[in-house]
Amino acid sequence: MDGSSMPQPVAGGTPPPTSPPTPPIPLTRLLARKELGLRQIAGPAEAELLWVHASEMADPYPYLLGGELLLSAGVLLKDPDAYVSRLLEAGAAALGFGVTPVFDTVPGALIEACDRHGLPLLEVPPQTRFTAIARAVWRLMAEARHRELRRVTRAQQALATAAARPDPVAAVLRQLAARLEGWVVLLSADGEELHAAGRRPAPDIGAALARLAGVVSAATRPAPASATDTVRGTHVSAYALGGGQGLVLALATERRAEGDHTVAGIAVVLLSLLAAPHQGADAAGRAAALVRLLVGAAPEDVAPLLGGAERWTVVHARRAHGDPADPLTAGALGAALGSALVDAGRGPEVVRVLVPGGERIAPQPGWTLGASAPAAITALEPADSQASRALGRAAATRSPLVHHRADAGSGLAALVPPDRAEAHARALLAPLTEPLVETLRCWLSLHGSWDRTATALRVHRNTVRQRIARCAALLDADLDDMDVRTELWFALRTR
């Protein structure tokens, strides 16, 4: 019977590898190879093989790395109980005993010892060479490595595709939860749950994740990039995201495959990029600008600290499906528009972005946008109103993006002196309150459509009808008359 010894301990003081080069092979897969004729005759049915090693030494302990299928013909077997005990101390996964030429059958004492100590024992028939078993194990390992690489590659592609979707952070987490068949959660620096996907675990599992998140996000000492634990058979892990924001990705899975850490690492990189603040303007400069504004500096003096742009575009944005936008999603929108100046607190569903430069804004998948005309830093308040009205019009017309038209002073309107036009508008619209003025403006801009105006203003269509009727009564005007509508539109544009 041939012997095969692989791998051998590394010489020269170099420590052996601490992790297997391939995923472990279930013992059942080796037993399923019918051509080998292997038969398990003792010990538990479940075991995982990392290596194959053949040895006829009385005590092979010094030459084992752990996880081996040890192959032996029992040449020096004297004390089966002590022999099996030493194999377990060395971390051997299973013992394959070859019958003939030393023993015609597997010794009963060895079978009893393996059952007693819980070591799987395989009977190797005379016609099966040890080298054939080793070759079969390495072939199974190669197949497992190929499957694992293919799984990781597919997961990488799926995560990258998710990162390009309209809601990238949530999409990446959903895809990660599906790929790892578990629960994933993105936590803020103070432990707040920002996003989650998958089936929520029991409270004690959540507490374990929070504890691990505290380990990797600790700011008072050098913290590890990741931490893992096992709670009641559930594998829990936490990964710190880059960017210095204190964000943590935490996972809870029922199983842990070799490639799971790699898949999680890919998600960490993508989430770090998605959650990182846009670096187009220096963060210290933005903080200094805020301080100076608070202590009374003029906006034009603060503008250089915000990036030095002479013109700015105000963008109002709403998620296309109507859900509120969290800070991470709002930040991703700002990055896509080229700005870190993002306000996600404009009402429950509207995000406001201040974009430097006079470039026209491009539509963003998954968002409905309204953009103002480019304005100076001192004229952002009217630009904000323009963006708000543009967003309402975009929602009413189901357009992904509407730009405010900056041509109010051209055409016939330019023939009337601005001061006289403004005075006329003030006098004409004086009876109307601000909500009525805004409703009238929107209704006229949408050609008197009740439904579109209701959509734009986010009110019921009956509310629009009531407000327009009130406008007609206060102005003592027939709003179905085109001349009246034209005069009112001129006044509203001038105002």
**pLDDT one-digit tens code per residue, 202-236:** 888 888 888 888 888 765 556 688 888 888 889 99
Residues near 308 by beta carbon (within 8 Å), at least 6 away in sequence: 356
Ranking 116-125, 292-301, 474-483 by mean pLDDT, the lowest is: 292-301
Residue 493 and residue 413 in contact, taking contact as beta carbons nearer than 8 Å: yes
Residue 407: CB atoms within 10 Å: 11
* Residue 119: half-sphere exposure toward Cβ, Cα within 13 Å: 30
pLDDT at 8: 35
Report the run of H or E that residue 234 belongs to, with start and end: strand 234-240
Helix (H) or strand (E) holding 53: strand 51-54
State the pLDDT at residue 348: 60
- Exposed/middle/buried for residue 166 (C-beta within 10 Å: 0-12, 13-18, 19+): middle
- By percentage, how much of the chain surpasses pLDDT 90? 32
pLDDT value at 482 more than 70: yes
Q: At residue 379, does pLDDT exceed 80? A: yes
* 5-141: CATH, from 2.102.10.10, 3.40.1390.20, 3.90.226.10, 3.30.70.270: 3.40.1390.20
Q: Report the mean per-residue pLDDT for the chain.
A: 83
Least confident of 75-79, 115-119, 483-487: 483-487
- Give me the phi and psi of 431, to 5 degrees please: -70, -15
Say what the pLDDT of residue 460 is. 92
Q: Where in the chain is the domain with CATH 3.30.450.30?
A: 164-275
Q: In the prediction, which pLDDT does 389 show?
A: 85
The pLDDT value given to residue 462:
92
Q: Which pLDDT belongs to residue 197?
A: 92
Residue, of 60 and 330, whose pLDDT is higher:
60
Size of the chain in residues:
495
Q: Which of 27-36, 241-250, 467-476 has the lowest mean pLDDT?
A: 241-250
The predicted-structure confidence for 399-443, as pLDDT tens digits, reads as follows 889 998 765 445 555 556 677 778 888 888 888 898 898 899 888
pLDDT at 243: 61
Q: Where in the chain is the domain with CATH 3.40.1390.20?
A: 5-141
Predicted confidence band of residue 10 (pLDDT cuts 50, 70, 90)? very low
pLDDT digits (tens, 9 = 90+) for 22-39: 678 899 999 999 999 999
pLDDT of residue 7: 35
Q: Would you say residue 328 has pLDDT above 80?
A: no
Rounded Cα distance, 98 and 230, in Å: 38
Please determine, for residue 68, whether its predicted confidence score (pLDDT) is greater than 90: yes
| 411-494: CATH superfamily | PucR C-terminal helix-turn-helix domain (1.10.10.2840)
**How do residues 443-459 score in pLDDT, each as one tens digit?**
888 888 899 888 888 88
Q: Is the peptide bond before 400 cis (omega within 30 degrees of 0)?
A: no
Q: What is the helix (H) or strand (E) element at residue 195, kind and residue range?
A: strand 193-197
| CATH-assigned architecture of domain 164-275 | 2-Layer Sandwich (3.30)
Ranges in the chain annotated CATH 1.10.10.2840: 411-494
